[in-house]
Amino acid sequence: MFDYSAAFDAAVTQVKDEGRYRVFADLKRVRGQFPKAIRRREDGSEQDVIVWCSNDYLGMGQHPAVLDAMQAEIEAVGAGAGGTRNISGTTRSAVDLEAELAEWHAKEAALLFTSGYVANEATLTTLQRILPGLIVFSDSLNHASMIAGIRNGGCERHIYAHNDLVHLEALLAAAPVDAPKLIAFESVYSMDGDIADLKGTIALAHKYGAMTYLDEVHAVGLYGARGAGVAERDGVQDQIDIIECTLGKAIGVMGGYIAASTAIVDAIRSWAAGFIFTTSLPPALTAGALASVRWLKTHPELREAHQERAATLKQRFAAAGIPVLPSVSHIVPVHVGDPVHCKMISDMLLENHGVYVQPINYPTVPKGTERLRFTPSPNHTDAMMDDLVKAMDRLWTHCNVARMPAAA
Ligand SMILES: *Cc1c(COP(=O)(O)O)cnc(C)c1O
């Protein structure tokens, strides 16, 4: 008979052989002390750590306005939504949140999903059902959830070189003029910290009659005067057809959504299995996200502090000869260049220095570009940076990893 356990063992062995086996850090975040957390080791002992790789970019996951709203909502309406959106699960705070999100992105409507992953997967799959013959043009570094949605629909698809508008235009020009087309891309790419040329992409979309689908997961809350993302910053919100975001990163809670025209949202709402056949988000989550979005809209100083912290950390690494990759965003990637050192440095940072930063290895990034990805928040102090830079400097020497010429 079939040996099931050997098959599972082989699957894990393969991942280990490829250096992709993941060990999770067991963390207990401490309310009011972000980015501090308590790590539990495998032997059960505990260690205080500073989290340097959280996607809770602004610490909104612990913001009093968010926590108060969540607690009040639990007191008022209880735990779960109690159903799908269609069958008793359309809660008041979900409806209010969708209105708030639509207004934020200057769109007619918004639609919640249980995560950003589901929002991408469900929407991109469904667009292909609504638009038969759709041809999708997808940036080569798009997130796994976008790739999953594009593949699931089974449409013709073309991958263009990352942020390469010349390549994108060549692909668009080669497609039939009258075919429906969709350009799917992100604003901030989270591994390199570069930002797409929104205006240039939109110009091509107009020229070749394509729709635009923009993932602003790593930008929402962080860019633009009211924090709606890079499309707001660049003044092009009205020219992107579908904006997709998460409630789980800078907004600090959980969930995902799209914002678009009433017609698009109504069609996705009516056709997307990943929206229809699943229980709605718990009201405490949507109430917390609503409070977070309202706060973010009116507090640009948080975004300024965030950018200042990122710029300061980049400068401090560069001054120490630590090879920061050229990021134009809040992401601070440091080049290591091989998976063994990358893992070794992050293990030593954690065990010996209480610095938690996850190593980023293949297949998340190409081989030879293994890196540590730091995400400083407004709550990361100068003293924390002193400790971090000192520890990195020591480990760079200890592990004999290449430096870059110290900045003048
Ligand atoms: C994290 C991420 C998502 C998924 O969002 P979740 O809410 O975490 O499921 C989608 N797109 C990109 C680019 C992401 O980094």
pLDDT band, very low/low/confident/very high, at 405 (cuts 50, 70, 90): low
| Pocket lining: 107 vs ligand 1, CB cutoff 6 Å | no
Q: Whose CA is nearest to atom 5 of ligand 1?
A: 116
Q: How far is the CA of 407 from the centre of ligand 1 (A)?
A: 34
Write down the pLDDT at residue 376. 98
Is 120 touching ligand 1 by the criterion CB < 6 Å? yes
Which residues form the catalytic set? 249
Neighbours of 103 (CB within 10 A): 16
The pLDDT score that the predictor gives to residue 401 is 85
- CA–centroid distance, residue 79 to ligand 1 (Å): 25
Residue 361 confidence (pLDDT) above 90: no
pLDDT(408) > 50: no
Q: How far is the CA of 251 from the centre of ligand 1 (A)?
A: 12
Strand order in the sheet with 36-40: 26-29, 36-40, 46-51, 355-356
User: Beta strands 156-160 and 135-139: pairing type?
Assistant: parallel
- Mean pLDDT calculated for residue range 56-78: 98
| Percentage of the chain lying above the pLDDT 70 cut | 99
Which ligand 1 atom is the nearest neighbour of the CA of 120? 10
Is residue 374 in contact with ligand 1, taking CB distance under 6 Å? Answer: no
Ligand 1 in reach of 143 Cβ (< 6 A): yes
pLDDT recorded at residue 209 = 98
The string of pLDDT tens digits covering residues 12-53 is 999 988 878 888 999 999 999 999 999 999 999 999 999 999
Which residue is closest in CA terms to ligand 1's atom 13?
A: 143
Task: State pLDDT tens for residues 184-221.
Answer: 999 999 999 999 999 999 999 999 999 999 999 999 99
User: How far is 294 from 103, CA to CA, in rounded Å?
Assistant: 11
Averaged pLDDT for residues 370-376: 97
Computed over its alpha carbons, how large is the radius of gyration of the chain?
Answer: 22
323-333: average pLDDT: 96
Summary mean pLDDT of the chain:
96
Backbone angles phi, psi at 155, to 5 degrees: -75, 175
pLDDT of residue 179: 98
pLDDT surpasses 60 at 407: no
328 — pLDDT class (breaks 50, 70, 90): very high
Mean pLDDT in residue range 78-93: 98
- Alpha-carbon distance of 171 to 97, in angstroms, equals 38
From 142, 249, 373, mutation site for ligand 1 pocket: most ligand atoms within 8 A of C-beta: 249
pLDDT tens per residue across span 230-269: 999 999 999 999 999 999 999 999 999 999 999 999 999 9
- Give residue-wise pLDDT tens across range 153-187: 999 999 999 999 999 999 999 999 999 999 999 99
Model confidence band, residue 363 (pLDDT cutoffs 50, 70, 90): confident
Ligand 1 neighbourhood includes 117 CB (under 6 angstroms): yes
> Taking the model in full, what pTM does it have?
0.96
Q: Count of alpha carbons within 13 Å of 30, Cβ hemisphere only?
A: 11
> Ligand 1 mean position to 45 CA, how many Å?
32
Give, for ligand 1, the residue of 57, 114, 143, 222 to mutate: max count of ligand atoms closer than 8 Å to Cβ.
143
